[in-house]
Every structure is written in structure tokens, then in C-alpha cells.
Amino acid sequence: MSARTTRTGRAAFTLIEVLVAVAIMAVAFAIVWSTFTAAVNGWQRGTKLLDQLHRGDFVMEQLVLALRSAAFFSNRPDKYGFRLDESGGGEGSRDTMSWVTSGMAFLPPDSPLANGLHRLEFGLDTDDEGRPAVAIRAWPHLADEEESDVKGEPWFVSTEIKGFRCRTYNAEDEKWEHEWENTNSVPRLVELTLYLQPFEDYEEPQKIQRLVEIPIAPPLDEAAKSSGEAGGAAETPTPEAGGETPAGTEGETGGAGAPAQEGGK
């Protein structure tokens, strides 16, 4: 009887051994679950970021195409000039710019303006749900803009963008300026920056930046110096003297109309 009891006791687990085994399994499961959760969250975040960048790139490419299709005729510089309304600097900028173009960028497929020259306005506004979004307006370039219904209601093309900044290059002073006073002409070089909506309130927004050379404007006499503020997906090349486009600077081809003439308001 004593021998059988001893053998039975040796074959069983004590309560302490069971608790230790359960604790080890719980710790192992927690480690595996946390690793799996972190991997899934990282994959989802990367997917959302990539999707956001793709949408931002699409808006930027459409904007570049519209600028490269700019038109200017010196007989009516007041109707063909480039306009820029600035709203401050940094990621909170909501600049608005407009120019005359012959392209179809940002226009609805059934728009009557798609087959001719029109003035396009690009900026940010609040959509019907109270979110900042890219707002587009277009109207006939020779229309009387003092009439209240000329511009019409905006249509929104993206809610991924929370800020927009445009700067023009001053060739005389060799510096970038956040304004354009010569509204009877077209700048040769502009810097465009889109600020994407961050995932969290405390995060820095992603930036998409481009330098765009407008081919119908007068050529630069001096090489443009980089602003030194490029970030994110920015490209900050510098055009060579004489207006030739270096690698990375947007377009030397495209556009319509006669060369732009220098002039003020």
C-alpha cells in the first residue's frame, strides 16, 4: 500500500507546478499576441499612408499639368495673368491661386470649359461635412468676374490635404516670395507644397513639394537657388540660367499662347 501511494504521488502534478505552467503559457501568449497586433497595426498604418500619398501625388500631378498648360496673351494681360492670394506660411497655409489654362485637369468630364481656355482656381475650402478639402473653381477666362455667379460653386476633389502653399521665385533678388504682385504676367518658377492630413493630431503632416517651371513665362536670367525647406516627397532642383529645365524640375513643354510680358497691376 505504501509503495503504490508513493508511485501515484510521483506521477501527479502539484498545484504549484500547474500554476507555474499556466503562468508561462499566459506570458508566451501575451508576447505572441502583442507581436501579432503590432505587425497588423503597422501593416494597416503603412497601407493608409501609402494610399494617402498616392492621392496627394494625384492632386499634385493634376496641378502640375494644369500649370504647364497655362496660356497667356499680351493683348489682354489683365485677363491672362497669374494670381496668388496668400494666407500665411507653414502647414496651416490655405493659399489660393488662379491662372488661365487650356488643359482639362480638375474639370468634370461633362464640363463645357473642357474644350477651350478657362481660368482655373485652386485652393482649400470647407466641404459640406466641415472638413478641409481641395476646392476647384473654373469659369470663362474673359468673363466679367465682378458678377456674383461667374465662379459658381466649388467642387471638392480631395479631403486628404489640409494645407497648400505656393511661392514664386524672384529672379532679381534671387529669393522665394510668398506673394505675386505682377498680376498682369506669369511667374517663371513656382514652388508648390501640399500638406497631407496626419493620422494623429500630434503628428507632423506629410509634405509633397514640387518646383514647376511655367514655359510661357520669360526665362530666368540667373539660376534659381533652392529654398532649403524641401521635405517629405519634395523635389528641389534648380533651373540653369537661360530657363532650361534641369533634371527633376517640372516641364519645359506644354502651355499655350504667346510669351508672357513683364508688367504690374
Q: What's the confidence (pLDDT) of residue 240? A: 37
Task: Please list, in sequence order, all residues whose beta carbon lies within 8 angstroms of the beta carbon of residue 171, skipping any fewer than 6 positions away.
Answer: 188, 220, 221, 222, 224
* Per-residue model confidence as pLDDT tens digits over 217-261: 666 655 555 555 444 333 434 433 333 333 344 443 334 444 343
Q: Are 157 and 106 in contact (CB under 8 A)?
A: yes
Alpha-carbon distances, residue 183 vs 35, 99, 186, 264 (angstroms) = 58, 10, 7, 6
Write down the mean pLDDT value for the chain. Answer: 78
Q: What is the pTM of this model?
A: 0.68
DSSP class of residue 227 equals -
Cα torsion angle, 35, 40, 43, 45, sign: negative
Q: What's the confidence (pLDDT) of residue 145? A: 81
Q: What's the confidence (pLDDT) of residue 10? A: 56
Q: Are 215 and 61 in contact (CB under 8 A)?
A: no
Report which residue type is found at 193: T
Instruction: Summarize the confidence of residues 12-26 as an average pLDDT.
Output: 88
Q: What's the confidence (pLDDT) of residue 229? A: 47
Q: What's the confidence (pLDDT) of residue 189? A: 93
Helix (H, G, I), strand (E, B) or coil at 191: strand
Q: What's the confidence (pLDDT) of residue 114? A: 82
Instruction: Summarize the confidence of residues 13-29 as an average pLDDT.
Output: 89
- Closest to 183 (Cα-Cα) out of 262, 102, 94, 96: 262
pLDDT higher than threshold 60 for residue 24 = yes
- Spatial separation of the C-alpha atoms in residues 43 and 36, rounded to whole Å: 11
* Per-residue model confidence as pLDDT tens digits over 105-131: 999 888 888 888 999 999 999 888 888
* Per-residue model confidence as pLDDT tens digits over 142-163: 888 877 778 888 999 888 888 9
Burial of residue 239, with CB atoms counted within 10 A of its CB: 0-12 exposed, 13-18 middle, 19 or more buried: buried
- Closest to 116 (Cα-Cα) out of 154, 81, 143, 135: 143
Q: What's the confidence (pLDDT) of residue 66? A: 92
Instruction: Summarize the confidence of residues 26-49 as an average pLDDT.
Output: 86
pLDDT higher than threshold 90 for residue 47 = no
Q: What's the confidence (pLDDT) of residue 127? A: 86
Instruction: Summarize the confidence of residues 9-30 as an average pLDDT.
Output: 84
Listed ranges 56-60, 86-90, 91-95, 223-227; the one with the highest mean pLDDT:
56-60
Is residue 204 very low, low, confident or very high in pLDDT (cuts 50, 70, 90)? confident
